[in-house]
Amino acid sequence: MKICGLTRPEDVDAVVEAGADAIGFVFYPPSARYVTPQRAAELAARLPAFVTPVLLFVNTPADDVIAAASAIPGALLQFHGDETPEECWASSRQGHSAFLRAARIPLDPDGPPFDLIGFSKRFDRAKAILLDAHVPGYGGGGRTFDWSLLPAAPDAHLVLSGGLTPDNVADGIAALRPLCRTLAVDVSSGVEASKGIKDHGKVRAFIEAVRG
């Protein structure tokens, strides 16, 4: 599981102590959770072995992605914008990093269904497809999408995101785990006291709910 949007050293330490597998740093300047690559490198230096830093980009120039990946060895890249499969692969290859690709799932139940299988095939070099709600701007805005509308994608590695909290994450896992090859979860606003500031009690409750 990944806790995203870390900005403070005390939150990094608390998330690690609670048992997270990965920690996300947002490199999208309009976000309230934005950190500079230098700041992210300082925070990532606190991570022990087997806790993975994940670097989130939105339509970032390839040279900047590669520079950030070089500054934080062992990081995963997470693309949340309009990046093509070729752009994701080129940046990840030159930065010597694997990548995740975010898919924006429509919130309108009466609209056309999201083509998860087609999206997964387009981004077949991604380590996983991250599912987030399609809201204005980029990121899920703390909104959940209708999990029941997703088709089965038995060959896909998925990451469920968007509006998760300690209270609903178990339901999300139960809904999506039978549909895919593997499932992970990713949370940001659902474990915050305010934007960019993590609530350590909520972090612990979220991780306990996932492990349960």
The DSSP secondary structure of 38-54, one letter per residue, reads: HHHHHHHTT--TT-EEE
Band the pLDDT of 112: cuts 50, 70, 90.
Answer: confident
Band the pLDDT of 110: cuts 50, 70, 90.
Answer: confident
Q: How many domains does the chain have?
A: 1
Q: Residue 28 in 3-state DSSP? A: coil
Given this model, what pLDDT does residue 181 score?
Answer: 97
Instruction: Decide: residue 106, CB within 10 A, 0-12 exposed, 13-18 middle, 19+ buried.
Output: middle
pLDDT in tens, 62-78: 999 999 999 999 999 99
Residues 6+ apart with CB under 8 A from 194: none
Distance of alpha carbon 3 from alpha carbon 89, whole angstroms: 24
Residues 6+ apart with CB under 8 A from 157: 127, 128, 129, 180, 181, 182, 184
Given this model, what pLDDT does residue 150 score?
Answer: 92
Tell me the chain's radius of gyration from C-alpha atoms.
16
State the catalytic residue, choosing from 88, 132, 180, 186.
132
User: pTM to 2 decimals?
Assistant: 0.95
Amino acid at 26: V
Q: Are 101 and 126 in contact (CB under 8 A)?
A: yes
State the catalytic residue, choosing from 4, 11, 88, 186.
4
Q: At 125, give phi and psi (nearest 5°).
A: -90, -5
Residues 6+ apart with CB under 8 A from 205: 166
Largest distance between two CA atoms of the chain: 46
Q: Residue 208 in 3-state DSSP? A: helix
What sign for the dihedral angle of Cα 159, 162, 164, 168? negative
DSSP string, 125-181: TSSEEEEEE--SSSS-TTPPP-GGGPPPEEEEEEEE-SS--TTTHHHHHHHHGGGEE
Domain that includes residue 129, residue range: 2-211
88 an active-site residue?
A: no
pLDDT in tens, 118-152: 999 999 999 999 999 977 666 656 789 999 989 99
User: Per-residue pLDDT averaged across 94-111, rounded?
Assistant: 90
Q: What is the CATH number of the domain that holds 143?
A: 3.20.20.70
Distance from chain centroid for Cα 203: 15
